[in-house]
């Protein structure tokens, strides 16, 4: 089993390292997974910048926060990957992941991109919306839905999760 870091938080998330094989397997099923043109194997899946990678103890959900300089002009922390293959309510997992981000970066804007053409839902980003995220526009280049949440608004809820 890979080294997993439990940062003594309550909830279902455990902090993992980039390159965790179980997390990589989940990431490779996500629609945003980048595939190398030459089909070389991947050993890591999180891009450059500061990050928090989380996986549930049952290895059925993955969440990655990234703090980096966005080329698209977005500011804040980015939910780079969220995939839930388990029985846990996705909106609940998102709220728990927000607590990790608040601990690391403090109150800030969080944002994510949703590709409505790559998912089956009639309401793209529904689980994020249930967790309090709001539409913030459409990306220019790839026409992705941008959702955002100001995590300072989530501070009280995050405290309840601990």
Identify the pLDDT of residue 44.
74
pLDDT digits (tens, 9 = 90+) for 23-74: 887 877 766 656 667 777 777 777 788 999 999 999 999 999 999 877 778 8
Q: Nearest CA to 59 among 128, 1, 125, 114?
A: 1
Q: Are strands 50-56 and 61-67 parallel, antiparallel or unpaired?
A: antiparallel
Q: Can you count the helices (H) and strands (E) in the chain?
A: 4, 8
Rounded Cα distance between 18 and 110, Å, is: 20
In whole angstroms, how far apart are CA 101 and each of 36, 67, 108? 29, 10, 9
Identify the pLDDT of residue 148.
97
Identify the pLDDT of residue 99.
93
Rounded Cα distance between 47 and 5, Å, is: 20
- State whether residue 63 is helix, strand or coil: strand
- State whether residue 147 is helix, strand or coil: strand
Domains and CATH numbers, the chain: 4-161 (3.40.630.30)
Is a pLDDT exceeding 60 seen at residue 162?
A: no
Token pair of 38, please? 């030459």
Identify the pLDDT of residue 158.
47
Identify the pLDDT of residue 3.
42
Q: What is the mean pLDDT of residues 144-159?
A: 75
Whole-model pTM?
0.82
pLDDT digits (tens, 9 = 90+) for 77-104: 999 999 999 999 999 999 999 999 999 9
């Amino acid at each position: 089993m890979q080294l997993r870091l439990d940062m003594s938080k309550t909830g279902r998330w455990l902090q993992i390292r980039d390159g965790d094989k179980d997390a990589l397997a989940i990431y490779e099923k996500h629609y945003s997974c980048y595939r190398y043109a030459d089909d070389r194997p991947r050993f890591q899946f999180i891009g450059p910048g500061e990050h928090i990678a989380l996986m549930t103890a049952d290895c059925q959900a993955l969440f990655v926060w990234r703090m980096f300089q966005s080329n698209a002009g977005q500011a804040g922390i980015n939910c780079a990957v969220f995939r839930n293959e388990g029985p846990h309510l996705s909106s609940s997992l998102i709220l728990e992941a927000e607590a990790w981000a608040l601990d690391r970066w403090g109150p800030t804007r969080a944002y994510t991109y949703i590709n409505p053409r790559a998912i089956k839902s009639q309401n793209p980003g529904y689980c994020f919306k249930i967790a309090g995220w709001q539409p913030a526009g459409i990306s220019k280049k790839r026409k992705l839905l941008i959702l955002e949440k100001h995590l300072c608004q989530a501070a009280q809820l995050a405290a309840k999760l601990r």
